[in-house]
Structure 1
Amino acid sequence: MKITTKKINLKHILFGGAALASMLGGMIFLDSAIAQEIRPTKIRRRCYRYTLINRTNRGVDFNLGRRKSFLRSKGQFSFRRCFKLRRRVRHPLVKYDEIIGQGYRVASVRLSPGRNAFDRQGRKLVLKTGGTDGPVPQIAPLEE
């Protein structure tokens, strides 16, 4: 029985392996380059500015989302919130005690972009939200 063996050329094996690795590396680079082009590098956002004004003669304690805040008499508080473009815009929720003096009743009002003002109507504290001519009362009209 005669066994024949071939000479293995080491130079061809190394060159073939290097070429294969280079090709695979190029394919990986191409995939990552395409993925980066599809995904934007900057996330687009829509930003709103809110201003809370206190028109009463007393300080107002309120919660802005989960954060407790205080607005002194005749004071002003401004902040900015940004939302991603594809998400639904949920303007901040303000909770405060609407009864002035003794008693406690929580009122919740969603702010609108622009100026929002705490004002007094009798023994009630109301939050007027921004309109075209400044803050207007946030009271639903009576149905007839």
Structure 2
Amino acid sequence: MSQTATILVIDDEPQIRKFLRISLASQGYKVIEAGTGAEGLAQAAVSKPDLLVLDLGLPDMDGQQVLRELREWSSAPVLVLSVRASEGQKVQALDGGANDYVTKPFGIQEFLARVRALLRQAPTGEVQQAALNFGPLMIDLAYRRRRLWARPF
């Protein structure tokens, strides 16, 4: 994967998002930000990022729930970045679909190395679909909606 990868940062702390945006952009990555779990899921569906950085302590929903919902339709690598440091919480996130886990506070060089490692391991050319179409039926997995288009007579 090239340095032009798109990374979605889902974190409710504006200072962390800004720090990560500057750090990742300086390495050539395109950065998209979300401050809530719902916004993050929507951004993931629309932007199809190559990697997600996910905080577990979000204001609208727990990051574990975001991870579960994301894994229903996306295989993009997820790097959890959280203050939750217990072994049980780390195991729950990794078993729930996270690819790696970094505890806050963190060193930016190690964080960037983990990002590079996850991007190297990511499948290339794999298309992620957040919406499926079956004739007149459309199922939007990210928003959990379905739509049946009326056929003209």
Tell me if TM exceeds 0.5. Answer: no
Instruction: Tell me which protein shows more strand as a share of its residues.
Output: 1
TM-score range for the pair, normalised by the shorter chain length: under 0.3
Structure label with greater radius of gyration: 1
